[in-house]
Structure 1
C-alpha cells in the first residue's frame, strides 16, 4: 500500500477514521517482566517498555492500580497509564559480538525517544466507519501474545498476525513475514504485535496470561469473524508497531559468513518466531470505553494529549543496572542464541 493511501486511511489527511493511533516514548529498557517473572530482578531477558511510570518489578493486580500509582505516562494520551512491552532486538556481528538495535519514531512523531505506536480498533484497520461495539478492558486486565520458546513456522501458527515488515520506505506496510527478513531493510524492520480480540468476560488474567482471551472462530479480527462461545466478549484490537532502526547494520560484510540474517531477539531467538508482547491495562476511569464508543478520529477529542517533549520526560529508574548499550560479548543475562 502506498504511503499516502495508508495515511489517508488512518484519517491523518481526512477526518473519517475512527480508531486510536498514538505514539509512546521509551519508558525504560531493562531486564524486568512483572507479568511473567514478577518480583525477579533481573528477569530472564531484556525488554523495552512504554506507558505509565508505576511500572515496577512486581505489579500485584490486587494492589497495583496503574492510574493511581503513576504520576506520568510516556504515551500521547495522558489517561493511558497502561504498560506495554516487547523483547529487544540485537545485531550479532560476524565476530560474534552483539549491539542493541535502536528504535525510532514513525513519520509525524519525530523527536519521540524510542518507543512504539499503539492502536486500539473496534473494526478492521481500514474500515473507517468503525461502528462495531467493543468492551474496553477492565482494571486488572493483563495478557500476553506470542511464545518466547517458539522457533519454527508451525509453532508460530498458534498466533495470528505476529509479523515483520522489511521497510523499503516510510510507507512500507507489506509484505509481512512471520520470521525475520532475510535481506537488509533500507529504513528498518517493523515488528507488528496484534493481540487476540475475544474475552471470556470473567477472568482478568490466566496462569499463562493467554487462556482468558482468544481469536475469532475463523479468520482474523480484520475479516470480521465471530468470537467463539467460550470467549463471547469482543474487545478492542490492540496492535503495537515497533520500528527497529537497522540501517547501521545493513552492510552484509558484517553479517554471518553463511549469509544468514544477523538479528536476534534478546531472548536468544535468531528466527523471529518467538516474537511476543505483554500488556497491563491502565487507562484512567472509563476513558478507553468512551473513546471506543465515540467513533471519532485518530485525534480522539474526548481524550487529553501531551507533547512529545512531555512524553520523553516520563521514565523510571534503572533497577537492574547492567550494560546494554556497548558492543557486548553476550546477550544481557548470558542468554544463549538458539
Structure 2
C-alpha cells in the first residue's frame, strides 16, 4: 500500500512562502531510556534516539518546568526545550548479527549531527501559507504514537500516515509505503511520522499517552478534516522526518539468504508495520510556540531565537545505560531478535 505525499518542500516552496515551521534537531543522545512509556526504568526495554533539551532523564517529572530545567537544546530554535524521540533502526546481516543504522541530516540542514527534522503546521504540507489558527501544546503536555506489537497492515492502519520512503536522493519524497522497502535504497530510508492533531481540551496526558488526542473525524489534517466532538481542540500537526543512512548496507550479498529485507527496529520488528513512530514531551519556553503558530514563518522565524548547527551539535548528554551500540552485535540491545510475527 502506498501513500501520496507532498513533493520535496525545499524545492516546491514558493519564493514568497510565509509559513511552515520546519527545523532540524541534532542528536542529543542514543540511549535505552523512555521516560514516557517506561518512566524510571534504566535501561528501558529498547534503544531510542533522543533530541531536544538536555534536561532529558529517566522520569521527566511533568510537574517540573522543562525549559527552566534545561541549559541547552539540540534543536535549531533555542526556545524549544521539548524532547523528541523514536526507536532506532538496525541492519540484520546474513550471518544473523546486527549493526545500528546511523542518521543523516535532511535536505538543507547539512552540518547537523544526525537527528531528524521536526515540523509544526497549521494546515499541513501542501498549504505553504498556513493561515488556520491552532492551539499550541501546553506545559506538561506529552504524547506517543505507534504500536511496537503491530506486525500486519491492519494492525498499524489505525495510526494514519506512518510511512517509509526509499530515497533515490536526499530530496525523494514518493512513493511512501506502510512497510519497509524491499530493495536497496540508494541514499537511505526516510521515516515520516505524523501525530494526531485533535485534543480533548482537558488532559495533558492519558494512561496510554494517546487517548487524549485523536485524528480528524473525517479526512486528514492536511485536507482540513474536522475534529471529533470528543476532541474539539485543533492543535498543530507535529511531524517528524528521520533519514536513516542505509546506503552502507546496500550490498545484497550481505542480506538474508532468503532475499527478505534486512532492516529491523530496535524493539525487534522486522516487518516495518510497528514503525514505533515517536514520543513527544512539550518544552517550548513561555508562549514561544504559540507566537510562532500565530505569526507563521518558514524555517527562519523572526518571533523565535535561532542557533546554528555548531550550537545544536554541542548540546548532548551522557548516556545513562552503558552498553555497546556501535559494534556488530548478536542481539539487539535489551536482548531482542528480529521478529516478523506478533
Relative to the length of structure 2, the TM-score reads 0.95
Unaligned runs of 5+ in 1: none
Q: Which residue of 2 aligns with 1:128?
A: 128
Q: Which residue of 2 aligns with 1:302?
A: 303
Question: Residue 289 of structure 2: SS of its match in structure 1?
Answer: helix
Q: Which residue of 2 aligns with 1:267?
A: 267
Asked whether the equivalents of residues 21 and 296 of structure 2 are also in contact (C-alpha less than 8 Å), the reply is: no
Q: Which whole-Å CA distance do the structure 2 matches of 1:274 and 1:93 have between them? A: 21
Asked whether the equivalents of residues 51 and 80 of structure 1 are also in contact (C-alpha less than 8 Å), the reply is: yes
Q: Which whole-Å CA distance do the structure 1 matches of 2:101 and 2:18 have between them? A: 33
Shift of 1:171: 1.4
Q: Which residue of 2 aligns with 1:7?
A: 10
Asked whether the equivalents of residues 15 and 297 of structure 1 are also in contact (C-alpha less than 8 Å), the reply is: no
Q: Which whole-Å CA distance do the structure 2 matches of 1:193 and 1:2 have between them? A: 12
Distance change >3 Å, CA 36–CA 5, structure 1 → 2: closer
Report matched runs for 1:145-224 at 5 Å.
145-224=145-224
Q: Which residue of 1 aligns with 2:44?
A: 43
Task: Deviation per CA, 1:14-62: give whole Å up to 9, x if none.
Answer: 1314121000000000100000000001000000000000000111111
Asked whether the equivalents of residues 3 and 172 of structure 1 are also in contact (C-alpha less than 8 Å), the reply is: no
Asked whether the equivalents of residues 52 and 83 of structure 1 are also in contact (C-alpha less than 8 Å), the reply is: yes
Q: Which whole-Å CA distance do the structure 2 matches of 1:171 and 1:211 have between them? A: 34
Q: Which residue of 1 aligns with 2:230?
A: 230
Asked whether the equivalents of residues 8 and 173 of structure 2 are also in contact (C-alpha less than 8 Å), the reply is: no
Q: Which whole-Å CA distance do the structure 1 matches of 2:23 and 2:333 have between them? A: 30
Asked whether the equivalents of residues 217 and 226 of structure 1 are also in contact (C-alpha less than 8 Å), the reply is: yes
Asked whether the equivalents of residues 9 and 17 of structure 1 are also in contact (C-alpha less than 8 Å), the reply is: no
Q: Which whole-Å CA distance do the structure 1 matches of 2:16 and 2:71 have between them? A: 32
Asked whether the equivalents of residues 198 and 233 of structure 1 are also in contact (C-alpha less than 8 Å), the reply is: yes
Q: Which whole-Å CA distance do the structure 1 matches of 2:51 and 2:114 have between them? A: 9
Match status 1:144 vs 2:138: no
Asked whether the equivalents of residues 118 and 240 of structure 1 are also in contact (C-alpha less than 8 Å), the reply is: yes
Unaligned runs of 5+ in 2: none
Q: Which whole-Å CA distance do the structure 1 matches of 2:6 and 2:215 have between them? A: 29
Q: Which whole-Å CA distance do the structure 1 matches of 2:12 and 2:309 have between them? A: 23
Q: Which whole-Å CA distance do the structure 2 matches of 1:150 and 1:98 have between them? A: 21
Q: Which whole-Å CA distance do the structure 1 matches of 2:221 and 2:6 have between them? A: 23
User: How many residue pairs get matched?
Assistant: 335
Q: Which residue of 2 aligns with 1:331?
A: 332
Moved over 6 A (4+): 1-5
Distance change >3 Å, CA 60–CA 261, structure 1 → 2: same
Asked whether the equivalents of residues 2 and 171 of structure 1 are also in contact (C-alpha less than 8 Å), the reply is: no
Shift of 1:275: 1.2
Question: Residue 86 of structure 2: SS of its match in structure 1?
Answer: strand
Shift of 1:128: 1.5
Question: Residue 104 of structure 2: SS of its match in structure 1?
Answer: coil
Distance change >3 Å, CA 257–CA 5, structure 1 → 2: closer
Deviates more, 1:213-222 or 1:106-115: 106-115
Question: Residue 304 of structure 1: SS of its match in structure 2?
Answer: coil
Question: Residue 243 of structure 2: SS of its match in structure 1?
Answer: strand
CA RMSD for the aligned pairs? 1.5
Question: Residue 155 of structure 1: SS of its match in structure 2?
Answer: helix
Question: Residue 120 of structure 2: SS of its match in structure 1?
Answer: strand
Q: Which whole-Å CA distance do the structure 1 matches of 2:60 and 2:19 have between them? A: 32
